[in-house]
């Protein structure tokens, strides 16, 4: 069917897309490790491999179907090309805003991602020229197959050219630009740091089941997550059905999301909720013991579920946006598997330290971590409010409530008594 604002919202990422997603990111990491690239180039290569896997296996068939089923429009070719030119003006304006932001705000100027990009200018300039040509072709093709070609990019271009424009579309574009710019820089920088750790302390150099081995696996899981996230923020391609349908518009929604990330969370954590400032887990759990093994496996399992949730999104991952309702992977069982598994892993990792701190301090630090969990609960509620505007999400929420993990547990604990 032609591209529309609501295309591809039904069935989330199937098993095939999840397999492609995992394979793409693992191939990227393996290539970067084999070639012994410095962390910035390694991150760029890993993200590129992931994007290529998505585009070749998932995106290209979707684009072909969209092109084959496109509807012919009753408009002069000149009008179509004028609109394409206006979209390119809008895109250039948005990219210009990104350059200004990355040149002014310390969060961007001091980030590893921006510093690497500037330092690799001799490499990125020719790549940028190639990408510019590909972008022009992409905008033209997307306009030709879109059911509603008058999108936010066209409205931004009209605003720049001082023509009549829809204010809500321009505001949507600015919110989307802020989300993509902030999180892409954050994830790319985090990936650079994680790849540096992987090169210095890979898990396979340590004895299996040792503390260093488990910590190395946790770092690897974190690396997978940030590469997948970075790819998701780039892959907002409408041609493939991966575009953003809506963004969060409430101040509370933005607040409870952004507060969970740098530079906000480290400052708030150290000033108000320093739950990790205490004795380490080794003061309570002996390395190599049965309790240590069970505790470590449980913590690692939560981390794996967390990254599985990111894999389930495939190319549609991003915060503060609606890019299609995901119903596969761990989302079959709970609505927020990433938040749930992340918070359980934090409690598992911190609990031994709480015990070692003594009753009063342990309870105080547990209360601090409870505040962090409350923030994630508010974040989940804000996302549900935004997504509930979509009837597909409301249907999904009803399905999870009736057949999800909590519903299954209730049926086992309190089975229905058959009527006589």
pLDDT tens digits along 156-206:
999 999 999 999 999 999 999 999 999 999 999 999 999 999 989 888 889
Mean of the per-residue pLDDT values of the chain: 90
Note if the bond before 263 is cis, omega within 30 degrees: yes
How far apart are alpha carbons 407 and 178 in whole angstroms? 38
Q: What is the pLDDT of residues 21-36, one digit of tens each?
A: 999 999 999 999 999 9
pLDDT band at 125 (very low <50, low <70, confident <90, very high): confident
Residue linked to tokens 């909590």: 406
Kindly state the tokens that stand for 30.
């393996």
Q: How many Å apart are CA 58 and CA 64, to the nearest integer?
A: 11
Q: 3-state class of 262 per DSSP?
A: coil
DSSP class of residue 204 equals G
The pLDDT of residue 418: 53
Residue 118 pLDDT level (bands cut at 50, 70, 90): confident
- pLDDT for 210-233, tens place per residue? 999 999 999 999 999 999 999 999
Task: Please count the CA atoms within 13 angstroms of the CA of 387 that sit on its side-chain side.
Answer: 23
Per-residue pLDDT tens over the stretch 44-82: 999 999 999 999 999 999 999 888 888 888 888 899 999
CA Rg value for the chain: 23
In the chain, the percentage of residues whose pLDDT exceeds 90 is 75
Pick the more confident residue, 12 or 162. Answer: 162
pLDDT at residue 364 is higher than 80: yes
102 by DSSP, 3-state: which?
helix
Residue-level pLDDT at 416: 57
Please list the residues that pair with 146 across neighbouring strands: 3
Q: Is 323 in contact with 316 (CB distance < 8 Å)? A: yes
What's the DSSP call for residue 54? I
Among candidate residues 315, 313, 375, the one with its CA nearest the CA of residue 346 = 375
Its pTM stands at: 0.92
Task: Assign 18 a pLDDT band (cuts: 50, 70, 90).
Answer: very high
Quote the CA–CA distance of 223 and 227 in Å, as a whole number.
Answer: 6
Residue 255 CB coordination number (10 Å): 14
pLDDT at 415: 64
Confirm if 182 and 264 have CB atoms less than 8 A apart.
no
Q: Which of these, 362, 197, 221, 358, lies nearest to 299 by C-alpha position?
A: 221
pLDDT higher than 80, residue 123: no
238/155 Cα distance (integer angstroms): 16
pLDDT for 332-353, tens place per residue? 999 999 999 999 999 999 999 9
Q: Which pLDDT tens digit goes with each residue over 270-283? A: 888 888 888 888 88
Tens-digit pLDDT profile for residues 226-268: 999 999 999 999 999 999 999 999 999 999 999 999 999 998 8
pLDDT value at position 233?
A: 97
Query: Is the model's pLDDT at 3 over the cut of 60?
Result: no
């Amino acid at each position: 069917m032609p591209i529309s604002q609501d295309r591809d919202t039904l069935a989330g990422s199937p098993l095939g897309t999840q397999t492609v997603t995992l394979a793409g990111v693992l191939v990227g990491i393996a290539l970067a490790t084999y070639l012994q690239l410095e962390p910035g180039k390694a991150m760029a290569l890993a993200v590129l491999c992931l994007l290529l896997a998505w585009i070749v296996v998932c995106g290209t068939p979707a684009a072909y179907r969209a092109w084959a089923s496109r509807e012919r429009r009753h408009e002069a070719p000149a009008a179509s090309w004028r609109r394409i030119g206006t979209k390119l003006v809008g895109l250039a304006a948005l990219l210009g805003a990104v350059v200004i932001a990355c040149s002014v705000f310390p969060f961007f100027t001091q980030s590893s991602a921006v510093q690497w990009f500037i330092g690799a200018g001799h490499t990125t300039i020719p790549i940028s020229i190639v990408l510019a040509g590909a972008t022009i072709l992409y905008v033209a093709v997307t306009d030709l197959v879109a059911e509603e070609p008058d999108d936010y990019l066209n409205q931004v271009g009209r605003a720049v050219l001082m023509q009549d424009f829809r204010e809500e579309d321009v505001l949507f574009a600015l919110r989307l630009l802020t989300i993509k710019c902030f999180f892409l820089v954050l994830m790319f920088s985090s990936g650079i740091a994680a790849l540096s750790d992987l090169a210095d302390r890979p898990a396979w150099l340590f004895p299996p089941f040792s503390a260093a081995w488990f910590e190395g696996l946790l770092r690897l899981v974190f690396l997978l997550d940030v590469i997948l996230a970075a790819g998701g923020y780039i892959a907002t391609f409408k041609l493939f059905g991966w575009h953003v349908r809506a963004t969060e518009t409430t101040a509370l929604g933005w607040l409870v999301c952004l507060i969970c990330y740098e530079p906000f969370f480290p400052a708030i954590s150290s000033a108000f909720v320093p739950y990790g400032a205490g004795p380490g887990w080794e003061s309570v759990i002996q390395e190599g013991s049965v309790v240590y093994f069970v505790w470590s496996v449980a913590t690692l399992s939560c981390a794996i579920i967390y990254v599985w949730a990111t894999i389930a999104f495939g190319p549609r991952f991003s915060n503060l946006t609606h890019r299609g309702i995901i119903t596969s992977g761990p989302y079959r069982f709970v609505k927020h598997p990433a938040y749930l598994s992340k918070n359980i892993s934090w409690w598992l990792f911190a609990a031994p330290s709480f015990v070692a701190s003594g009753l009063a301090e342990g309870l105080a630090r547990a209360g601090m971590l409870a505040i962090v969990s409350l923030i994630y609960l508010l974040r989940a509620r804000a996302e549900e409010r935004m997504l509930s505007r979509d009837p597909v999400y409301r249907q999904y929420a009803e399905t999870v409530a009736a057949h999800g993990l909590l519903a299954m547990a209730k049926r086992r604990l309190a089975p229905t008594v058959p009527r006589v």
